[in-house]
């Protein structure tokens, strides 16, 4: 199950980055803020993916 953190990151990163991007586009920020916010979303997704995969692993293995 070593692939589980990677799989959860692949699912979580675009979701979080996309949500931040939509929020920033709604606020009407410039391109630098948009790129920075999107990159921050990909970084924020790392611990989120780790926690979700840990939770799934604990649920499967008891």
| Mean pLDDT, the chain cut into blocks of 10 residues (62 residues total) | 92 97 96 96 97 95 86
In this prediction, residue 6 carries a pLDDT of 96
Residue 35 inside a domain? The answer is yes
Residue 62 inside a domain? The answer is no
In this prediction, residue 1 carries a pLDDT of 73
What does pTM read for this prediction?
0.87
Residue range of the domain that includes 42: 4-56
Instruction: Report the C-alpha gap between 16 and 37 in whole angstroms.
Output: 10
In this prediction, residue 33 carries a pLDDT of 96
Number of domains in the chain: 1
Q: Comparing C-alpha atoms, which of 57, 8, 61, 34 is closest to residue 45?
A: 8
């Amino acid at each position: 199950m070593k692939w589980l953190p990677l799989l959860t990151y692949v699912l979580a990163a675009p979701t979080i980055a996309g949500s931040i991007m939509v929020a920033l586009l709604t606020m009407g920020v410039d391109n630098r803020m948009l790129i920075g916010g999107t990159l921050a979303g990909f970084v924020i997704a790392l611990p989120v993916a780790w926690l979700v995969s840990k939770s799934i692993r604990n649920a499967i293995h008891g």
